[in-house]
Amino acid sequence: MGAKLTSFENRSSVEMEIRAFILPTRPDHYVSIAKIKPGETKECYDDIDPENPTLMMIYIESKFIFLQQMDVINYAKIICDINEDGILNIRYIKVKLASLRRFRGFSFCLGRD
């Protein structure tokens, strides 16, 4: 297949890590680790191989969530932040060519331990 571009934005006050590993290897054997400082945006440009699916783990302040690479490539931007209650919020922005700049968003939260 081809390669896609997605940007990750860290709106929290702590450093965020994006850890990528290829299945069926163990989750602690990472292919790459990208660190994003508070307030920083990084663009991820990666080749997509449907035969070897890649999982991405977004890790902020001892909270993490797994995303599949095939899902991540559908979004133009992924925004991560922590609200005042300590809950991790992940939102995405999807831009369609038909509407050019129409906002399509989705958000999900992870509670405290």
Residue-wise pLDDT tens for the chain (113 aa)? 445 677 888 888 888 888 888 777 776 777 888 888 988 888 877 666 667 777 788 888 888 888 877 777 778 888 888 888 878 888 888 766 554 444 555 555 555 54
Residues 45 and 48: their CA atoms lie apart, in Å, by 10
| Structural domain that includes position 86 | 3-110
The CATH number covering residue 51 comes to 2.60.40
Token pair listed for 55: 């999982």
DSSP code of residue 87: -
Q: How many domains does the chain have?
A: 1
pTM passes above 0.85: no
Q: Is the peptide bond before 38 cis (omega within 30 degrees of 0)?
A: no
Q: Three-state SS string across 50-81, please?
A: CCCCEEEEEEECCEEEEEEHHHHCCCCEEEEE
Give me the pLDDT at residue 85, please: 81
Token pair listed for 68: 């599949």
Give me the residues paired with residue 44 across strands. Answer: 6
